[in-house]
Amino acid sequence: MPQKLNHEIFMRRALLLARRGIGKVHPNPLVGAVLVHQGKIIGEGAHEQFGGPHAEVAALARWDKAPLGSTLYSTLEPCAHFGKTPPCVNRIIDCGVSKVVLGAYDANPRVCRKGARALRRAGVKVEAGILEYQARQLNKDFDHWIRYKTPYGVMKLAVSLDGKITKARGKWITGKAARLAAHELRLESDAILVGVHTVLKDNPRLNVRLKGAKSQPLKIVLDSRLRTPLNARLFSGGGVLVATTGRAPKNKIKKMSLIAEVLVLPEKAGGVSIAALLKELGKMGIVRLLVEGGALTARSFIRAGAVQEAVYFVAPIVAGAGQIAAPLIPLKNPAIRVVGRDLMIRGEI
């Protein structure tokens, strides 16, 4: 079997393993790794929890010394610095791995090519760029956060066939399967954002209601005048940030601060400055932000250039005249799949 094909087979396994960390490792990247000897996988692992063992260390866990001629496949360049854990390159070198095959170099300046150089200096062969596009796609949110110091924005909207986000009767536009898929989007995210109009109209909980979900994203409300009721359901379980402006009454800020973090930010176009909010969220380590608000919030984020990806759940219904229209924007490389009775269309902006 050609060597390149071998590399791709093992790298695909590592990419699959990396997904175990979705929603659990941010602000760190997703990473998977497999240890191979004589064409067989003899160890595998993933970075599955923030502060936990990195993928390379997990793949080497059962070996004090790897068999002679072993190759380690990693979706991302191993770290060479001390962080929450010791440098992964030290463990790889000490274990006697002969070769490391990488999907992509790490975008983080603290790591980028430093890990590869450390391995080569120790006599470990390094080959990079195997399924690089797939490896980069896996961590496009992390790469964006590292480069711009702001979250990677994903806009989610449920729309009818005639492009509306509301309908005359009933709460839901989409079916149960699509709503379940929406919770998977929440699980992928560090934070979920809505505008105050959504809170007042729908009183959402904004949590992940999937079996086995061990963590919840931060809940964020855009509320320039602090109209969010103190008994709103989203406060159940904590983890709420309310972004407001100087127009909010001081007594309301004081009361809200007892149950949530309140950020008083500059005002722009009559509401909270999206740019100022994103800057603060970036500092907080929010890598992926899911924008779930209505049309007004969605348009504000689009105008600010604050969303990099959009997910449309298209339902087989016609809402009719008088309903609120969704912001419809061209998508690059859209992926389309059937989710129950609905279509899920996901692509980059």
Chain segment 272-285, per-residue pLDDT in tens: 999 999 999 999 99
- What pLDDT is recorded for position 62? 92
Tell me, yes or no, whether 62 and 48 share the same domain: yes
Band (pLDDT 50/70/90 cuts) for residue 83 is: low
Is 309 tagged catalytic?
no
Tell me, yes or no, whether 155 and 138 share the same domain: no
Count of CA atoms in the C-beta half-sphere (13 A) of 120: 10
Tell me, yes or no, whether 178 and 231 share the same domain: yes
Tell me, yes or no, whether 34 and 168 share the same domain: no
The last residue of a domain, from among 130, 145, 160? 145
Mean pLDDT to the nearest integer, 211-234: 91
Tell me, yes or no, whether 81 and 217 share the same domain: no
Q: What is the dihedral of CA 96, 102, 105, 108, to 10 degrees?
A: -60
- What pLDDT is recorded for position 50? 86
Give the chain as a 3 state SS string. CCHHHHHHHHHHHHHHHHHHHCCCCCCCCCCEEEEEECCEEEEEEECCCCCCCCHHHHHCCCCCCCCCCCEEEEEECCCCCCCCCCCHHHHHHHCCCCEEEEEECCCCCCCCCHHHHHHHHCCCEEECCCCHHHHHHHCHHHHHHHHHCCCEEEEEEEECCCCECCCCCCCCCCCHHHHHHHHHHHHHCCEEEEEHHHHHHHCCCCCCCCCCCCCCCEEEEECCCCCCCCCCHHHCCCCEEEEECCCCCHHHHHHHCCCCEEEECCEECCEECHHHHHHHHHHCCCCEEEECCCHHHHHHHHHCCCCCEEEEEECCCCCCCCCCECCCCCCEEEEEEEECCEEEEEEEC
Tell me, yes or no, whether 66 and 183 share the same domain: no
Look up the CATH number of the domain holding residue 31.
3.40.140.10
The last residue of a domain, from among 129, 145, 161? 145
The C-alpha atoms of residue 166 and residue 180 are separated, in whole angstroms, by: 19
Tell me, yes or no, whether 175 and 267 share the same domain: yes
Tell me, yes or no, whether 135 and 239 share the same domain: no
Phi, psi torsion values for 288, nearest 5 degrees: -125, 125
Look up the CATH number of the domain holding residue 344.
3.40.430.10
- List 8, 44, 48, 56, catalytic entry: 56
Band (pLDDT 50/70/90 cuts) for residue 1 is: very low
Please tell me which of 31-35, 86-90, 170-174, 290-294 the model is most confident about, judged by mean pLDDT. Answer: 31-35
Tell me, yes or no, whether 195 and 248 share the same domain: yes
Tell me, yes or no, whether 115 and 161 share the same domain: no
pTM (two decimals): 0.90
Alpha carbon 272 to chain centroid distance?
Answer: 23
Residue 303: give the domain boundaries: 149-348
Band (pLDDT 50/70/90 cuts) for residue 84 is: low
The last residue of a domain, from among 145, 170, 190? 145
Q: What is the dihedral of CA 108, 110, 114, 119, to 10 degrees?
A: -100
Tell me, yes or no, whether 241 and 314 share the same domain: yes
In whole numbers, what is the pLDDT of the chain averaged over residues?
92
How many domains are contained in the chain? Answer: 2
| pLDDT tens column, 96-113 | 999 999 999 998 888 889
pLDDT at 86 over 90: no
Tell me, yes or no, whether 29 and 125 share the same domain: yes
- What pLDDT is recorded for position 238? 84
By mean pLDDT, which of 76-85, 175-184, 239-248, 283-292 is the weakest?
Answer: 76-85
